[in-house]
Structure 1
Amino acid sequence: MINEIMLNQTVKLIDVHSTEALSDADRDTLIEKYHLTNEILDYADDENERARFEYDEITNTYLIVYNAQNENDQTTDISQRVMPISFAIKNNQLFLFTNDATHYVKDYILSAKAHLKTVSQNETWEYIFNTFDQISSDYSDQLSETDAKRNKIQRLIKKHHSSENQILELADLQDLTTYLNTAINGNLTVVKQLELISTGNIQTLHLTKAAREHLHDALIEIEQIKNQADLSSDIIDRISNTYNNILNNRTNTTMKVLTIYTIVLSIPTIVSGFYGMNMKLPLADQKWSWIFSVIITVIMMLIILWDLNRRDRL
């Protein structure tokens, strides 16, 4: 579905919303009416495309692939929690390519209109930079939520209330932070490319002073998000290692106790086995011989327990 929205007198938003992939009809319209190339549409339509910045000199079209979060944050497939969206700029037309899970980004562009007080030649880029800020804020909220879940698991571990559910939740958090880290690093690369190009050293991307400052602020913001993601990922890894050590220690303690029980309880079996044999044994024909065997058994058990305690095995 393709919708045209006038953001102001000069900038037009072309909202390209697909349920899954671009339909043939939408692709034909984008090529014939808006003169976008198949290469740009292939990049924009690929749900596995990495974050990137491209410039087509022939059609004078900029393409930005950026990572945004899935609107359905309860999806069971963690790999789908982060999905690419695409921006294309051609003349004064801003193209936004999204699907059902990322269509909320259109609202970010529309809400950015309130932050743009004056019309400038770089206002199209300002809409994109404002959207970058909103997406970075989403990542910050997601990381804060991840930290809250991590702290909950950490408290349960300290109280010895951990279970298999905590292990699975911790594994999910590790997977989620890995995907978030990858997405944030990709976005950071794109913003760095834009800042480098805006200096005019590689390609021509003329931005006003205000737009360059906004781009620089967006870069600082995403660098802070990256540091937050790195810290969160590192802490989760440390908790996971600590959890594994605790589980290993519990297993070792259980095996040690079972071994001690096995050793101690084998003594009565040995003693009674001797007196149950069909052969002449000392004091076996006395009435109080069973008391004697019990005394021997208890003495041997106490000796074993004392020796284990002496060796710090208990």
Structure 2
Amino acid sequence: MLEFYKTNEQGVTARIESPEPGCWVNAIAPTYEERNYLIEKIGVLPEFVKSSLDEEESAHIDYDDDVDQTLVIFDYPNMNEEEDPINRPQKEKELTLQYMTLPLGVVILKGYIVTISLYENNNVNDLASGRVKGLDTKLKTRFLLLLLLRISQRYLIYLRQIDRLSSRTEKKLYQTPDNKELIDMLGLEKSLVYFSTSLKSDELTLSKIMRGRQIKLYEDDEDLLEDVMIEIKQAVEMCSIYSGILSSTMDTFANVISNNLNFIMQILTVITIVMAIPNMIFGFYGMNVKDLLFPFAWFPLLLAVIACVCAIFIFKKKDMFH
């Protein structure tokens, strides 16, 4: 899908039918024909299109001197709408949640700024719907920084959601340590690993942008760039803290489950020993042996009861039932 947007003289960004100089071209999961259109009509380098549509591509900056084009790949957090823990119905909240990160390519070239992504995402939708103030498609550097600021803010939103979900799941684990809650915790832990990896590469990419070598920086955009860097660093710190808390929580519950298993095995061992005593006595009296002491049915029964009571008393005194 290809969409074209341009900011008019009143400062309103609206959709247009065909590309014009100073417009924004938004490509979402472009088809083969749309990719050729980006390459032949808009002038985007083929390798830039290919890199932007590679799901495994990490955040980086690439610059081509020959055609004066700059590619910025930035990882953004993603979560499907049907898996949203806030907007979903209560019945669907039993599904396992997992966040991930996906690459978003921004190509800055003469006359246009182009965003290329494999999937539709809220960050681009916010810019297209006019929810971001100060957006101007003719100011390419500011456009890029506003998009990166939106992505960094989305990281913080999802990190707070992960923190709330982990706290909620932890409370459930205190009541009933089921596999479902443990799987949910594992999914959140994996999400934090994805976030941590992507945030580090995003931070490195921002550091390269701040040098101003590949992307021209203006004085009016310095504060905006600092805001983006602050948000990313805060997200990195929050991700590190939440990851440590979640990891220690998982280790704690693993130890609790192990202790509970040891207690159950201890109880079963005690029960096995106590039940083995009557079998030994009845087995001895059941053998064909002469001159046994009190060869009557009531004696081995009484002896077994007394032996079992003594064994239970000894185990109780050694605190084997707690």
TM-score interval w.r.t. the shorter chain? Answer: 0.7 to 0.9
Q: Are the aligned partners of 2:75 and 2:101 in contact in 1 as well (CA < 8 Å)? A: yes
Q: Distance in 2 between matches of 1:77 and 1:211?
A: 41
Q: Is 1:168 aligned to residue 183 of structure 2?
A: yes
Q: Distance in 1 between matches of 2:161 and 2:129?
A: 26
Alpha-carbon deviation of 1:244? 0.8
Q: Distance in 2 between matches of 1:176 and 1:48?
A: 16
Q: Which amino acid aligns with 2:31?
A: S
Alpha-carbon deviation of 1:204? 5.5
Deviations 1:10-41 (A, max 9, x none): 731011222xxx43322322222222222212
Deviations 1:91-113 (A, max 9, x none): 34110112343275143255366
Q: Distance in 2 between matches of 1:304 and 1:39?
A: 79
Q: Are the aligned partners of 1:85 and 1:102 in contact in 2 as well (CA < 8 Å)? A: no
Q: Are the aligned partners of 1:109 and 1:128 in contact in 2 as well (CA < 8 Å)? A: no
Match of 1:154 in 2: 170
SS in 2 for 1:111: coil
Q: Distance in 2 between matches of 1:213 and 1:109?
A: 23
| From 136, 148, 165, the counterpart of 1:132 | 148
| From 296, 308, 321, the counterpart of 1:301 | 308
Q: Distance in 1 between matches of 2:25 and 2:111?
A: 10
Q: Is 1:284 aligned to residue 299 of structure 2?
A: no
Q: Is 1:193 aligned to residue 200 of structure 2?
A: no
Alpha-carbon deviation of 1:312? 4.3
Q: Distance in 2 between matches of 1:46 and 1:204?
A: 22
Q: Is 1:267 aligned to residue 277 of structure 2?
A: yes
| From 33, 44, 66, the counterpart of 1:58 | 66
Q: Is 1:93 aligned to residue 112 of structure 2?
A: yes
Q: Normalization by structure 1: what TM-score?
A: 0.85
Deviations 1:72-100 (A, max 9, x none): 24468988832111101113411011234
Q: Are the aligned partners of 2:142 and 2:221 in contact in 1 as well (CA < 8 Å)? A: yes
Match of 1:36 in 2: 44
Q: Which amino acid aligns with 2:127?
A: Y
| From 157, 166, 170, the counterpart of 1:141 | 157
Match of 1:70 in 2: 78
| From 103, 109, 116, the counterpart of 1:84 | 103
SS in 1 for 2:63: strand
Q: Distance in 1 between matches of 2:99 and 2:59?
A: 15
Alpha-carbon deviation of 1:7? 2.2
Match of 2:7 in 1: 7
| Stretches of structure 2 lacking an aligned partner (at least 5 in a row) | 10-20, 84-94
Q: Greater CA deviation, 76-85 or 125-134? A: 76-85
